[in-house]
Amino acid sequence: DVKVTQSSRYLVKRTGEKVFLECVQDMDHENMFWYRQDPGLGLRLIYFSYDVKMKEKGDIPEGYSVSREKKERFSLILESASTNQTSMYLCASSYGRGAFFGQGTRLTVV
């Protein structure tokens, strides 16, 4: 089975902190994604990467950056966390037509 692992299930951070969310996949997938999930808004794409060191902005990239130094790892970075970034963050990887998701990280910024 494909495994996509996010480093934390729950995180609490202070406003202004730099926050790293890590995601690792074990199936050699080219494509990896970061989404945030909010009630009533569904899933919104923040960034995606289709190869090592390659990245593309999604629908809501403001306030975020990403890093993909190795194929299996895709990191989401909140440069200066704000309360409006309190959300569920979901990482996914895909080989083409299907995507596999991690269990999610619920981030609270106080």
Given the rule CB under 8 A, which residues bind another protein?
Answer: 4, 31, 33, 35, 40-43, 45, 48, 50, 56, 58, 90, 92, 94, 97-104
Tokens of 12: 């609490």
Tokens of 79: 């440069």
Nearer to another protein, 49 or 85 (CB): 49
Nearer to another protein, 87 or 94 (CB): 94
Residues forming a β-bridge with 47: 34, 57
Nearer to another protein, 50 or 82 (CB): 50
Please state the closest distance from residue 20 (CB atom) to another protein, in A. 19
- DSSP for 78-98? ESS--GGG-EEEEEEEESSS-
Tokens of 3: 């495994």
Please state the closest distance from residue 42 (CB atom) to another protein, in A. 4
Q: Are 110 and 13 in contact (CB under 8 A)?
A: yes
